[in-house]
Chain A
Amino acid sequence: MRKREIDRALAGAYPLDRAAVARLPLQAAEDELVGQIVAEPQEPPALDAPSQRRSRSLRWRTRFAGLATAGAIATAAFLGLTGSGHGPAGTAEPAYAAELVRLAKISPPILFDLPNWRVAVTEVRQAAEGFTEFQVGIQPQQDPEKNAKFHWHSKSVQARAGELTTHGAVEVGTAPVLETEATIYEYPPAGKPVFELVALWDEGGHAFEFRTSVPGIATFERRLLALERVDRDRWLEVVARDLGSVPVKTVVIGQDGSRYVYTCVNGHPVHPVPRSVLPKGSSPCPSLTPAPQDRDRDDPPQASI
C-alpha cells in the first residue's frame, strides 16, 4: 500500500460523525461543567521565580539592545536596504535586499529543518532551475556528510531519472518527502564509506531532487523528512539569516554559451564583469530572468562533495 492509500484507510476508519458530535444536545451539561470548573481554584501564578526570570531576561534584553542595534545597522548596510525591499522603511517589517527578494520569488520555498544546518548557497540558473545547498558543522566542504543539496529542475522527473541512471545511479526504493513519495537512487559507493543518495520527485510536472551523502538509509530518510515547505517570508528570513555574511551568487549564460558565476552584493557584482560577452541588455546581478542561451547543464554525480 502506498502512503496515500494508508492515509485514506486511516481516515475511513474514523469512528464518529464529526458533524453529529458538533450537534449533540449537550449545551446544558457543558454549561454546568464549565460552571463547575471555574468554581475550582486556579494554580496561583508563580510569583517569585518567574518574576526573577523576567527581570533577568529584561536586563539581558536591555544589554543586548545596543549590540542588536549595531548589528542591525551593519546588516542593513550589507543588504543595501533602500526601501525597495520587502517592507516599508520605518516599520518593524523585515526588509531584504532586492536580489534576495527576487530569489525568493523564483525559488521553491523549501528549507532544511535540522538543528545547526544552514543555507550555504542558493543559486538560480534560470527561472525554473536552481539549487539550495545546506551545510552543517565546521569545514563542511571537506566532509560530504555535512552537505545536502536541494535542486529544482525545469525538466520532468522521467527526463531527470534518465540522466541519473545514465550517470550510473541505481534506483533503490521510495521514501516520503514533502507529503509525496520520492524515488531513491544510489550512486555506486566506489570504495567510499558513505552512500551518495538522491531522492527524485515530481512537483507540478518538474523534477525536484535532494541529494546528500550519508552513512546509512535511516540518516537519509531523516534528512529527507527534514525538508520543509515554508512560506516566502520564512524562506527570506532564514536565507537572509544564513547568508547574511555571504554574498548572493547568480549565474548568467554568456553569448558564447559559457556559464558565468557572479557574486553580487547590494545588487552589484563584486568582480569586474566582461560585459562584451554577456547577452545584450543583461546585467549579472539584478537580472535573474532566463538567459537566452541557457545550456542544459547536468550536475555530475557529487563525487567532489
Chain B
Amino acid sequence: MARALAEAHFTRLYGEYGRDVLAYALARTQRPEDAADVVAETFLVAWRRAADVPSGTTARLWLFGVARRVLANQRRGEGRRTRLAERLQTELPAAVATQPEADGDRSAVMGALARLGEEDREILLLAGWEGLGSAEIAAVLGVSKVAARTRLHRARRRLRKKLALKEDGAVVPCTCELELEEAR
C-alpha cells in the first residue's frame, strides 16, 4: 500500500516537473543524450530520497538543485551514464527541435557567460532562464536569500562588464575587456 502511494506520488512529481527539469538540462548541455541522463539521474535521486522531496512548488526548486549537482558531476566526468534513460536518450535527439541559430545578441551573451565563473553563470541563468527570484535561487543553491541576492548582484555586475549596448539596441561584447584578455 505504502509502495503504491509512493509510486503514485512519484509519477505525479514527474508529470508536474519532468519537462521543467528536461528544459533545465537541455539548455545547459551540448547533447540531448546528456540532458536525458540528467533527467534520469535527477528523478532517480528524487525517488530514492522521496522523504526529502518538499511538497508543492518547492519540489521544482529542489529538483533544480539536484539537477545542478548531477550536471556538475557530468561535467567533471564523474557521472556515469545511467542505463535507465536509454529510450529517452535515443528518442530525445530526434524529438528536440533544432536549436535556434545564435543571433548576434545571443552570441555575445553566451560568449560573455562562458567567460564568467561557474557560480556566476549558474545564478544568472537561474534568474534569466528559469525566471527564479532571489528567494527561489536561494532554495536551489541552499544559501540564504541575502547571499543569493548578493551573489546575483555581483554576477550581474561582472556580466555587465563583459557586454555593451550599441545605439541600435544590439548587445555586443565589450571590446575593452576582450582586448585586455587578449593582451594577457
Contact = CB atoms under 8 A, between A and B. Distances in A.
A226 interface: yes
29 contacts: A1-B160, A1-B165, A3-B156, A7-B128, A9-B105, A9-B109, A9-B163, A10-B109, A13-B105, A13-B106, A15-B27, A15-B106, A18-B23, A21-B26, A21-B96, A24-B92, A26-B88, A26-B91, A32-B87, A34-B11, A36-B84, A37-B10, A40-B84, A41-B48, A42-B47, A43-B49, A114-B146, A222-B146, A222-B150
B40 A45 contact: no
Among A5, A13, A21, A40, chain B packs the most CB atoms within 10 A around the CB of A13
Interface in B139-157: 144-146, 149-150, 153, 156
Given A13-B113, A42-B47, A25 B95 contact: yes
A53 B120 CA distance: 38
B132 interface: no
Nearest to B50: A42
Interface stretch (B14-22, B54-62, B71-79, B175-183): B14-22
Contacts of B27: 14-16
A225 interface: yes
Nearest to B164: A1
Contacts of B117: none
Contacts of B144: 115
B129 A14 contact: yes
A45 B18 CA distance: 25
Nearest to B111: A13
Contacts of B127: 7, 10
Interface in A1-39: 1, 3, 5-7, 9-18, 20-22, 24-26, 28-30, 32-34, 36-38
Interface residues of A, number: 45
A221 interface: yes
A37 B43 contact: yes
B150 A221 contact: yes
B48 A33 contact: no
Contacts of B105: 9, 12-13
Contacts of A10: 109, 124-125, 127-129, 159
Contacts of B44: 37, 40
A43 B48 contact: yes
A229 B7 CA distance: 39
A6 B87 contact: no
Contact of A24 (B95, B100, B153): B95
A176 interface: yes
